[in-house]
Amino acid sequence: MCANTTLHEIESMLGPPAHSGEGYLIYQGDCMDYLKHLEDGALALTVTSPPYNIGKEYESIREIDHYIEWCKRWIHELYRVTSDNGSFWLNLGYVALASRAKAIPIPYLLWDQVPFFMLQEIVWNYGAGVAAKRTFSPRNEKFLWYVKNPDDYVFNLDDIRDPSVKYPNQKKNGKLKCNPLGKNPTDVWQIPKVTSGKDRSSKERTLHPAQFPIAVVERIVKACSAPGDIVLDPFLGSGSLIEAALRSERLAIGFEINPKYVDLAAKRVRAFLRARGQQLAQRPLFR
């Protein structure tokens, strides 16, 4: 099966979702229980941030070897269900290793466990964060961009170009030096994180303690999938991937083991669709 799978076909493989609507399916449960039922090559893109194994409220701490083995299992399942020209974007933070490291990037521990081809590392510089006293204050996380085939993968550069060009009309030999749509974003993305707290909480903030900014996920979705494709987040959390997909005319499925976050994501997606419907209804009939 290829990446033009329909949501109806996905539902026939996985069974009834906990929540669904126009363009999305949300399932409550362990991602491994669902991934094994998906057919080979069913998905165009996965974007996810699994638990970091650092003791957040939504995770149980595992021995580091067990954690790496667990990651290996679900990543190998993702490889199987990814289309031949599909991508896998993985966001992971840092973990302490006794007597070895205060904060080692978790992807360093997975380098030989991932069957995908690693195409690029993206540094997300998020601005605000904790203030350290004996080290430099951390201000970044990594996204690893993996593809199934390094010679054939989706990359829609024109859809995610950065319009903030310093000299947009500069020419050489009578031709514009810069693409009129903008420049290629670099591998360092300066996008604010989703903040919390009185008088500083982000507009998109939910009750989930580790929430993706829509701007980050939407850039990935637009760059590495086509309209109508199905994208997946096997650790759905607050539902940022589903909202980003719907904003970008993609379809989305999410797996989330915690029923509290399943309901949170569903509520968020319904609110987005309701607001979008109101905006469309208010557009003038004639321009």
Residue ranges covered by each domain of the chain: 7-154+187-282, 159-185
Q: How do strand 171-172 and strand 140-147 relate by DSSP bridges?
A: unpaired
User: What angle do the packed helices 240-247 and 214-224 form, to 10 degrees?
Assistant: 50
This model's pTM is above 0.85: yes
Of 71, 159, 147, 59, residue with least CA distance to 109: 71
Q: Tell whether domain 7-154+187-282 is in CATH 3.20.20.70.
A: no
Residues 28 and 26: their CA atoms lie apart, in Å, by 7
Q: Which residues lie below 8 Å from residue 106, measured CB to CB, with a gap of 6+?
A: 52, 53, 92, 93, 94, 95
Residues 221 and 249 sit within 8 Å (Cβ to Cβ): no
Residues 23 and 207: their CA atoms lie apart, in Å, by 24
Question: Which residue carries 């968020």 as its tokens?
Answer: 268
Of 37, 20, 248, 269, residue with least CA distance to 154: 248
Each of the 287 residues of the chain gets a pLDDT tens digit; together they read 445 789 999 999 999 999 999 999 999 999 999 999 999 999 999 999 998 665 566 567 788 899 999 999 999 999 999 999 999 999 988 888 888 998 888 888 999 999 999 999 999 998 877 889 999 998 988 999 999 999 999 999 999 999 887 666 677 777 767 788 888 999 999 998 865 555 555 566 565 556 678 999 999 999 999 999 999 999 999 999 999 999 999 999 999 999 999 999 999 999 999 988 888 787 765 55
Residues 81 and 44: their CA atoms lie apart, in Å, by 9
Residues 174 and 287: their CA atoms lie apart, in Å, by 36
